[in-house]
């Protein structure tokens, strides 16, 4: 089913359609949020809020503006930004630090990735993992396509720089 | 073209984008740019590998359902313009929140064998509610709240699902709507229930969309408190307390709301009570348009209507005032529910003063 068809069913309150939508994307959104907010529980909560927001306010999606998937991740990103705004500054520092240490899939790249700034993490994850196109990224981040290109380059360079400064990496490469 | 000029195109190339011919030629013959491209590809592959592991676990199952009943329906049935900022969710919620007094609250030591968890729930900057939850009595294992918080209407319901040693599992439903929106028990019931393990003594943060998180703290108690919170028995100057109100007509009980409570603490607010088949009663400290002046005796309100004597009897002193006003609307049906589905409930609602000095339910901004 295409985005327009799926969205019509969701807008009409078709719980079955929304459950299918949730099943397909929930774990992916949660994985994305694990790198956008601090902690497993926060990622779970923000993911749930993301789907709840869409379920409660279906008029928000416009098929002319992009794909349903881009819309979903755009909401998730905004929810994550809201989550960070609600943290107290001193708490945020502690949480950010915690986020950089928590990974169940430890690897040099993963460690380097977790040391990136949030915006870079968001952009790289959506591009490399979710395969969002430049146009979709422009919609999600609300920036021009040209800016997507330059920011992706900056994010990759930042990741590469951190990766290369990792002591173990020098010996490996 | 040199490496400095070509690097951004390396990133674009990695994304499958077309790049200028000169950039493509440079990258093809430049060892440094080739190395950068391989690094980008390797980084992307590693991120996808990580994601493959992180998305392996399925998200928790949820049931999605939209509520059918909204209180806006009953605005159209005679209470047009009325706003309900606070309501007891009688279907979902057996417990009471915001009952007054510290009387009879006995805390037990952490990790002791209490049977009741007394939660303190903070929403926004000013809203604090008490929520006692029983681990042994299903009639007292849930509570809820609706009110204005940070320019929004917030509703939440908390249910104690199970206990495991010192910890309890809480099921929490919440809904955030614009401040002008109405909210019914069905709105909350249609929300997904999130589940949390909570250990009394700890702090639980529950995220809300667009609002500060709920901050939940708690202690074990050895019994369900008759009163909780910080109020004493003496009502404040503008306070009107309706706790477990029973309504008598003559000697006949025509309404009994055991466990329901509305506490008004502002002059421009009123307690609002609905009994199935009896209609609604708006109780205020100021004269309402069409309201009956009623006499207050400690925990009783006495008035006459249609030649019949009526008495509200409540579980605590009601107000310092000698008189209140009772506005009765017979036949008022808030939900238009079928027989058997109805339930009583109470809430606090805003009222506004008219030029003639009478008070009416506040107009609702749409």
Q: Is the pLDDT of residue B302 over 90?
A: yes
Distance between CA atoms of residues A97 and A100, nearest Å: 5
Mean pLDDT for the stretch of residues B170-194: 77
Question: Beta partners for B280?
Answer: B274, B329
All residues at 6 or more sequence positions from A118 whose CB lies less than 8 Å from its CB, including other chains: A36, A84
A-B interface: how many C-beta pairs under 8 angstroms? 119
Tokens linked to B99: 């009952």
Q: State both tokens at B48.
A: 């996808």
Tokens read off for A104? 């169940």
Query: For residue B301, what pLDDT band results from cuts at 50, 70 and 90?
Result: very high
Over residues B313-334, the pLDDT tens digits come to 988 889 999 999 999 988 665 5
pLDDT in tens, A93-141: 555 444 444 444 457 888 888 888 888 999 999 999 999 999 889 988 8
What is the C-alpha to C-alpha distance for residues A69 and A25, in angstroms, rounded to an integer? 8
What is the reported pLDDT for B293?
95
Tell me how far apart the 2 most distant CA atoms of chain A are, in Å: 58
As a whole number of angstroms, the distance between CA B112 and CA A130 comes to 49
Cβ separation B191–A49 shorter than 8 A: no
Could you report the predicted ipTM of this complex, rounded to two decimals? 0.82
Q: How many CA atoms lie within 13 A of B346 on its CB side?
A: 28
Q: How far apart are alpha carbons B190 and A142 in whole angstroms?
A: 32
Best-predicted range by mean pLDDT among B26-30, B95-99, B112-116, B181-185? B26-30
Instruction: Band the pLDDT of B337: cuts 50, 70, 90.
Output: very low
The shortest CB-CB distance from B39 to any of A19, A49, A160 is to A160
Residues B329 and B314: their CA atoms lie apart, in Å, by 20
Which residue from A110, A127, A134 is facing B50, i.e. has the nearest CB?
Answer: A110
Which residue of A11, A17, A43, A52 is the best one to mutate when testing the B interface, meaning the one whose CB has the most B CBs within 10 A? A52
Please check whether residue B44 touches A, CB under 8 A: yes
- CB neighbours (10 Å) of residue B80? 11
- Tell me the HSE value of B296 on the side-chain side, using a 13 A CA sphere: 21
The residue among A74 and B243 whose pLDDT is bigger is A74
Tell me the pLDDT of chain B averaged across its residues.
Answer: 76
Q: Nearest CA to B214 among B160, B181, B176, B184?
A: B176
- Asked if B12 lies within 8 A of A153 by C-beta distance, the reply is yes
Query: Residue B170's pLDDT band (boundaries 50, 70, 90)?
Result: very high
The reply to whether residue B66 touches residue A53, judged by beta carbons under 8 angstroms, is: no
Tell me which residue of A94, A72, A99 sits closest to A18, measured CA to CA.
A72
pTM of the model: 0.47
Please give the span between the terminal C-alpha atoms of chain A, in angstroms, as a whole number. Answer: 46
Residue A88: which pLDDT band, with cuts at 50, 70 and 90?
low
Per-residue pLDDT at A105: 44
Summarize the confidence of residues A153-168 as an average pLDDT: 82
Selecting from A19, A104, A109 the residue whose C-beta is nearest the C-beta of B64 gives: A19
pLDDT > 70? residue B81: no
DSSP sequence for B188-225: HHTSPPEEEEE-BTBEEEEEETTEEEEEEEEEEESS--
Residue closest to A138 by CA, chosen among A73, A57, A86: A73
- According to the model, what pLDDT value does residue B78 have? 25
């Amino acid at each position: 089913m295409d985005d327009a068809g799926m969205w019509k069913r969701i807008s009409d309150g078709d719980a079955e359609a929304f459950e299918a939508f949730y099943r397909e994307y929930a774990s992916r959104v949660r994985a994305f949020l694990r790198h956008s907010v601090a902690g497993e529980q926060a990622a779970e909560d923000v993911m749930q809020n993301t789907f709840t927001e869409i379920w409660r306010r279906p008029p928000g999606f416009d098929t002319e503006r992009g794909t349903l998937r881009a819309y979903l991740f755009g909401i998730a990103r905004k929810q994550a930004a809201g989550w960070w705004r609600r943290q107290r500054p001193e708490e945020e520092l502690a949480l950010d630090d915690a986020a950089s240490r928590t990974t169940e899939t430890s690897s040099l790249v993963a460690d380097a990735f977790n040391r990136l700034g949030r915006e870079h993490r968001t952009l790289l994850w959506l591009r490399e993992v979710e395969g969002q196109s430049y146009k979709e990224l422009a919609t999600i981040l609300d920036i021009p396509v040209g800016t997507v290109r330059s920011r992706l380059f900056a994010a990759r360079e930042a990741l590469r720089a951190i990766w290369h400064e990792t002591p173990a990496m020098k010996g490996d490469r | 073209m040199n490496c400095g000029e070509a690097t951004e195109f390396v990133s674009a190339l990695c994304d499958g984008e077309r790049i200028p011919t000169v950039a493509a030629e440079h990258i093809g013959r430049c060892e440094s740019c080739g190395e950068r491209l391989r690094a980008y590809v390797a980084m992307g592959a590693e991120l996808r590998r990580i994601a493959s592991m992180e998305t392996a676990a399925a998200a928790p199952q949820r049931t999605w359902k939209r509520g059918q009943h909204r209180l806006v329906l009953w605005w159209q049935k005679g209470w047009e313009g009325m706003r309900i900022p606070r309501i007891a969710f009688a279907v979902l919620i057996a417990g009471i929140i915001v009952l007054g007094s510290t009387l009879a609250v006995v805390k037990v030591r952490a990790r002791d064998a209490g049977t009741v968890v007394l939660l303190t729930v903070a929403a926004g900057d000013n809203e604090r509610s008490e929520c006692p939850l029983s681990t042994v009595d299903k009639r007292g294992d849930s509570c809820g709240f609706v009110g204005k918080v940070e320019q929004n209407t917030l509703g939440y319901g908390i249910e104690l699902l199970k206990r495991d040693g010192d910890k309890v599992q809480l099921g929490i439903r919440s809904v955030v709507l614009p401040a002008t929106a109405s909210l019914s028990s069905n709105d909350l019931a249609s929300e997904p229930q999130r589940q949390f393990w909570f250990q009394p003594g700890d702090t639980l943060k529950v995220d809300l969309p667009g609002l500060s998180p709920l901050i939940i703290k708690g202690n074990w108690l050895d019994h369900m408190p008759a009163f909780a919170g910080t109020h004493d028995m003496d009502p404040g100057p503008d306070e009107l307390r309706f706790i477990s109100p029973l309504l008598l007509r003559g000697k006949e009980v025509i309404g009994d709301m055991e466990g329901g409570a509305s506490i008004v603490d502002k002059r421009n607010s009123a307690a609002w009570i609905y009994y199935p088949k009896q209609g609604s009663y708006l109780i205020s400290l100021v004269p309402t348009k069409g309201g009956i002046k009623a006499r207050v005796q400690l925990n009783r309100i006495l008035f006459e209507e249609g030649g019949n004597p009526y008495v509200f009897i409540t579980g605590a002193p009601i107000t310092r005032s000698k008189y209140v006003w009772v506005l009765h609307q017979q036949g008022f049906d808030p939900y238009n529910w079928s027989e058997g589905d109805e339930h009583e409930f109470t809430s606090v609602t805003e009222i506004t003063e008219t030029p003639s000095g009478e008070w009416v339910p506040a107009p609702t901004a749409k």
